[in-house]
Amino acid sequence: MIPAESLVTRDGHQTRVPASDLVVGDIIQVNLGNKVPADFRIISCSGDLKFDRSVLTGESEPISATTENTDPNFMESRNIGMQGTHVVSGNGIGVVIQTGDSTVFGRIAKLSAGGGGGLTTLQKEILRFVIIIAAIALTIAVLVVVLWAAWLRKSYPGYLSTTQLLINAISVLVAVIPEGLPVSVTLSLTVIAKAMGKSKVLCKSLTTVETLGAVNVLCSDKTGTLTQNKMYVQNAANLDNEYSTSQARTAMIKDDAAREVLQQLHFVAGLCNAAQFDATTLMLPVSERKINGDATDTAILRFAEELGPVMDLTANWKKVFDLPFNSKNKYMV
């Protein structure tokens, strides 16, 4: 995820060095199309320098860069370029402040690679049970040997030979240890996994069956990984009043009480939106038009068009300022 080489100023001369050889304090230069090789603080840049931080923050819009500190949060300050992000416009010069695993991207990668390996609750309980049973078996076997040595051998000589003693001790060990435990646990988990499969819950491994069995609420983020990454607005609500798209469109025409609120919703959905209709598909029905933008903005723009022509809104309103959606604010202005 890092570029092979980076343009660095060392000893007053610009040279290309492998990105893996960068050290803190190096002066690097980034240009349009480059992938940032390390976390760096911008000391000089063109007015149009922008970074695509979607790989780290999920922000769909490029972030403008500046030489001034704009936020105490390292992730939000615009005078910081972060490893793994792309330069979508402009150019800049900065001083490297973090490299390798110390970068934001590196720490995330390290956490992702270092996870797992621990025992599940069920595995811990089985291990505890097995240790207790094994301790009991060893205690009984040792007790048999002690009784034979201290009492049986002296009181009844020849009754039990040393070979027979060893066989009896091993028999005790084998008899106490539950050999059928792994089979029983596997079969029970398999039965549960089959029952969950009927409810369309697919478990990657049997150990996750036990984990899911202890879950009260399962939260899932719809990212489009297993879908087409297409979203649609199903309904809109104003306090206790809920409308489908068609009901909202009808209410704007016939319901005087709801008209003003729905018009405000129409304005916000159509104007505070980073998506745009593809000009070549404007003649098609709204549901079939191609929209340039992320899935969320696309869904809201399509909903706004269902309520009324968005083109009329953009013609009547003038944009004087734009604050794109970002991971800190979680809203757009």
Query: Both 134 and 78 in a single domain?
Result: no
The whole-number average pLDDT for the span 131-138 is 91
Q: How far, rounded to the nearest angstrom, does the alpha carbon of residue 298 sit from its chain's CA centroid? A: 22
Query: Both 11 and 52 in a single domain?
Result: yes
228 belongs to a structural domain: no
Please provide the size of the chain in residues. 333
Which one is predicted more confidently, 329 or 29?
A: 29
Name the residue among 274, 278, 261, 263 with its Cα closest to residue 333.
274
Query: Both 162 and 259 in a single domain?
Result: no
324 belongs to a structural domain: no
102 belongs to a structural domain: yes
Query: Both 16 and 93 in a single domain?
Result: yes
The whole-number average pLDDT for the span 258-269 is 90
- Grouping H, G, I as helix, E, B as strand and the rest as coil, residue 37 is coil
Asked whether residue 313 carries a pLDDT value surpassing 90, the answer given is no
Query: Both 309 and 246 in a single domain?
Result: yes
pLDDT at 160: 84
Query: Both 25 and 91 in a single domain?
Result: yes
- Mean pLDDT, the chain, rounded, equals 85
Query: Both 307 and 265 in a single domain?
Result: yes
The whole-number average pLDDT for the span 93-98 is 93
Residue that terminates a domain, selected from 82, 114, 146: 114
CB atoms within 10 A of CB 73: 10
The whole-number average pLDDT for the span 98-103 is 89
pLDDT at 203: 82
pLDDT tens digits, 18-44? 888 899 999 998 888 788 989 999 999
Query: Both 75 and 89 in a single domain?
Result: yes
Asked whether residue 237 carries a pLDDT value surpassing 60, the answer given is yes
Asked whether residue 224 carries a pLDDT value surpassing 60, the answer given is no
pLDDT tens digits, 54-77? 888 777 788 889 999 988 888 888
Query: Both 9 and 87 in a single domain?
Result: yes
The whole-number average pLDDT for the span 131-151 is 90
For the chain, the domain total comes to 4
User: Where residue 208 falls among pLDDT bands split at 50, 70, 90?
Assistant: confident
What's 35's DSSP letter? B
280 belongs to a structural domain: yes
- Grouping H, G, I as helix, E, B as strand and the rest as coil, residue 57 is helix
225 belongs to a structural domain: no
Asked whether residue 275 carries a pLDDT value surpassing 70, the answer given is yes
329 belongs to a structural domain: no
* pTM attached to this predicted model: 0.44
Query: Both 137 and 201 in a single domain?
Result: no
Domain that holds residue 88: 5-114
Active-site residue list = 221
Name the residue among 64, 22, 62 with its Cα closest to residue 42.
64
Q: What is the DSSP string of 289-317?
A: --EES-HHHHHHHHHHHHHS-HHHHHHH-
298 belongs to a structural domain: yes
55 belongs to a structural domain: yes
User: Where residue 143 falls among pLDDT bands split at 50, 70, 90?
Assistant: very high
